[in-house]
Amino acid sequence: MLYYVTTNPGKIREARQYLGDETITDYDYDYPEIQSESMKAIAAEGARDAYRKLGEPVVVDDSGLFVNGLEGFPGPYSSYVEEKLGIERVWNLVEPLDDRTASFRCVMAYCDGDPFEASPDPVDKDDRAAAAASAGESLEEDEPLAVKLFVGTVRGEIVAPRGDGGFGFDPIFEHDDSTFAELTSEEKNALSHRGRALAKFAEWYETKDS
């Protein structure tokens, strides 16, 4: 069984729908998010942490909204901004801008404790080496657990909130004339950042041990 690590019911609903109930189960664990501008580094370290806690194969999903007219903000700070400002105020910030285009990005990180071939060199090695150096420690080369990353992106535009579905920033993210909150989760999965990352993950996972 594969554990999908999230405290967000919206993410697990979409992942279950994509991968099937028999493939994944919910692991309601709030992994500590490292301080980093890199969503890949955040997801990779989250997956290692969750795997160390659970000892079973895990997938972590770190997502963010990048508004082009705000130089990519809130990006890795998306959950903080949603919690502190709320989506209505994010719309108020973006409304006066000339460029309201944006993208959602999802990074999925898989870890099962095995040093699988397909894993690239841990993407966050430099970040962790720098953090270790500033703490007067050195990074043990044989310690990092292998993590495989899958990235999905979708472009759209920030609009006034519309729709009752989805979660998070969905009501203010428009793609092809509908906000994500106006789509069913099947429709959202077919074109969203998460759906695209899930498609890449599912394809790799199916052939992983063959």
Report the interface residues with ligand IMP, using CB under 6 A. 8, 62-65, 78-79, 82, 166-170, 180, 192, 194
Q: Shortest Cβ distance from residue 114 to ligand IMP (Å)? A: 25
| CB closer to ligand IMP out of 140 and 176 | 176
- 62 among known catalytic residues: yes
Q: Shortest Cβ distance from residue 82 to ligand IMP (Å)? A: 3
- Beta-bridge partner residues of 183: none
| CB closer to ligand IMP out of 19 and 139 | 19
Q: Shortest Cβ distance from residue 30 to ligand IMP (Å)? A: 9
| CB closer to ligand IMP out of 57 and 168 | 168
Q: Kindly list the strands in the beta sheet with 148-158, ordered across the sheet, starting from the edge strand earlier in the chain.
A: 24-27, 2-5, 58-67, 101-111, 148-158, 173-175, 178-179
Question: Quick check: 58 and 110 in contact, CB under 8 A?
Answer: yes
Which helix or strand (DSSP H or E) is residue 111 part of? Answer: strand 101-111
Q: What's the chain's Rg over C-alpha atoms? A: 18
Q: Shortest Cβ distance from residue 166 to ligand IMP (Å)? A: 6
d(CA 32, CA 49): 8
Token pair 């099937």 is found at 20
| CB closer to ligand IMP out of 148 and 194 | 194
Residue nearest to ligand IMP (CB): 168
Please confirm whether the linkage preceding 144 is cis (ω < 30° from 0). no
The catalytically annotated residue of 26, 30, 61, 62 is: 62
Q: Which among 83, 121, 100 has a CA at the least distance from the CA of 175?
A: 100
Give the active site residues: 62
